[in-house]
Amino acid sequence: MEILVLLKQTFDTEAKITVKDGHVVDDDVTLVINPYDEYAVEEALKLREAQGGAVTVVSVGTDRVEEALRRALAMGADEAVLVEAPAGADELTVAHALAEWASAKQWDIVLAGNVSVDSGAGQVALRFAEVLGLPHVAAALKLEVGDGKAVVHRDAEGDTEVLEVTLPTLVTAQQGLNEPRYPSVPGIMKAKRKTIARVTPAAPVAAATVVQSVFQAQQNRRNTMIKGSPAEQAQQLVQLLRGEAKVV
């Protein structure tokens, strides 16, 4: 079974984000595999272990993305590919760049994260599937593959839908699909020695969106200490909520 995982590098969810001169500063920020994409990598490894084949991870970005790709290799992926990011790339550009590279090979199943924790757009994987004409199912909580089809239990706004699609197909991973494994020491050492293939899109697609500005939200918090007996505190609180906060 040939399994492809679309992977994105994102900020560590606990990292402090700084904006300077209209740009996000990431020089000293820890970057990691997008957590939802880690579920996709883990599910790919489980499929390979059950049915054989190979797992390839691919990402669009700069040299720094190699950190995330090597992490996936250390988890157990067989091959990694870095597609150089076209200038001014947005979700449309990235999806087409990935599809251009992936179209040269037949894949049984493509896995990706449901969303990325930085933008939360959830566009790239589904655009990729549309470009290649693949059926796709989003937000998988359980995945069963066999006999040329995939049965997907997907998150549907708090409920669960069960869908059956024929292979090849694309499935995006929701939190709860699995528990990603930690790379072993031998896996980390092996990943360091592996070559990451690098490709440049031959016909990059122009971005469909333009970021006009980036800024940090201003937080104007004011603390008010309420004193007195419980009854007096309750009365003051109601007055503050009604007179200043305007919420009651």
Q: Has residue 208 been placed in a domain?
A: no
185 & 230 share domain: no
Give every residue of the chain whose pLDDT is below 70, as ranges.
221, 248
The two structure tokens encoding residue 58? 């691919």
Q: How many domains does the chain contain in total? A: 2
Q: Write down the pLDDT at residue 248.
A: 66
150 & 77 share domain: yes
90 & 149 share domain: yes
Say what the pTM is: 0.86
187 & 129 share domain: yes
Q: Write down the pLDDT at residue 247.
A: 75
Residue 234 structural domain: 222-248
CA 91, 128, 12, 61 dihedral sign is negative
40 & 73 share domain: yes
Examine the fold and report which residue of 199, 214, 234 is the final residue of a domain before the chain moves on: 199
Q: Has residue 80 been placed in a domain?
A: yes
Q: Write down the pLDDT at residue 21.
A: 77
14 & 54 share domain: yes
158 & 234 share domain: no
131 & 51 share domain: yes
Q: What is the pLDDT of residues 69-111, one digit of tens each?
A: 999 999 999 999 999 998 889 999 999 999 999 999 999 999 9
100 & 157 share domain: yes
195 & 240 share domain: no
241 & 181 share domain: no
